[in-house]
Amino acid sequence: MLLAIEQGNTNTLFAVHDGKDWIAQWRTATESTRTADEYAVWLAQLLAMSGMSLGALTACIISSVVPQSLFNLRNLSRRYLHVEPLVIGENAELGIPVRIDKPSEAGADRLVNAIGAHIVYPGPLIVIDSGTATTFDVIGADGGFEGGVIAPGINLSMQALHEAAAKLPRIAIQRPERNRVVGTDTVTAMQSGVFWGYIGLIEGLIKRIKDERGGHLTVVATGGVFSLFEGATDAIDHFDGDLTIRGLLEIHRRNTT
């Protein structure tokens, strides 16, 4: 069975694939100081709750945007799974061209998403991922990664608003009631600004990318926050929460067949 690890700046996803289906998924907060041993204890407990054990895992693939954590994730695979992991950006062949000025600077998560999107949706594509940052990536008709846009994530924007303004509270991100734009108190005004402001960001950048690139590009969105925007804009063609783990599975297949 395959253990796929997708580590972002905020959360880390561990998913298990049995060769046919994803049979388990868990998320934990990303902590760069967590050791391989701590990961192993945590993972072993969750596997046991699902009727599995670390010994059942026979392969591992890792995508991480946190360099200081990669050492411990790699050791988790070596020490407890007894396998050398495939690591995006190191020893994993992606099978796609990376057409940017400095290919080594392309984030592992963005490349994985590109592959996960290309094997399902006809290109060319715009792939949007909302995490700590919100990224807009252009994928060619052949699956090639052609660059994109990086903007602050919605949670980061909300946090900055609270921390920089003394009288603005920390609030949950949610869609305004009845899709109202004008708030009638501080909380609803903040919710509207963040929600509709991000809709404006999404629609504006999609339009500018399409105008610059020419032709039709299918727009695919992923990331947990994007479920908030379903039905609020026609600019996104598909919402796909499995983009990243699908990409990891495909990369594993390309490197083992």
CA–CA distance, 121 with 104 (Å, rounded to integer): 26
Q: Which phi and psi angles does 26 have, rounded to 5°? A: -140, 150
Residue 192, pLDDT score: 87
Question: Is 115 in the same domain as 40?
Answer: no
Question: Domain for residue 197, yes or no?
Answer: yes
Residues 28 and 11: beta-carbon distance below 8 Å: yes
Question: Is 153 in the same domain as 64?
Answer: no
* pLDDT, tens digit, 9 for 90 and up, residues 40-54: 999 999 999 999 999
Question: Domain for residue 137, yes or no?
Answer: yes
Question: Is 65 in the same domain as 42?
Answer: yes
Residue 191, pLDDT score: 85
Amino acid identity of residue 103, one-letter, is P
Question: Is 236 in the same domain as 110?
Answer: yes
Residue 148, pLDDT score: 95
Residues assigned a catalytic role: 109
CATH number at residue 41: 3.30.420.40
Residue 64, pLDDT score: 92
What distances in angstroms separate CA 252 from CA 62, 131, 192, one per listed residue? Answer: 10, 24, 42
Question: Is 58 in the same domain as 121?
Answer: no
Asked whether residue 252 carries a pLDDT value surpassing 90, the answer given is: yes
Predicted model pTM: 0.87
Question: Is 86 in the same domain as 125?
Answer: no
Amino acid identity of residue 145, one-letter, is F
Total structural domains in the chain?
Answer: 2
In sequence order, the 6+-apart residues with CB closer than 8 A to the CB of 229 are 198, 199, 202, 221, 236, 239
Asked whether residue 188 carries a pLDDT value surpassing 80, the answer given is: yes
Asked whether residue 180 carries a pLDDT value surpassing 80, the answer given is: yes
* pLDDT, tens digit, 9 for 90 and up, residues 197-229: 989 999 999 999 999 998 789 999 998 777 788
What distances in angstroms separate CA 49 from CA 11, 24, 45, one per listed residue? Answer: 21, 11, 6
User: Which one of 73, 92, 111 terminates a domain?
Assistant: 92
pLDDT-above-70 percentage for the chain: 100
Range of the domain at 208: 103-246
User: Which one of 92, 115, 130 terminates a domain?
Assistant: 92
Nearest to 115 by CA among 134, 135, 93: 93
Question: Domain for residue 186, yes or no?
Answer: yes
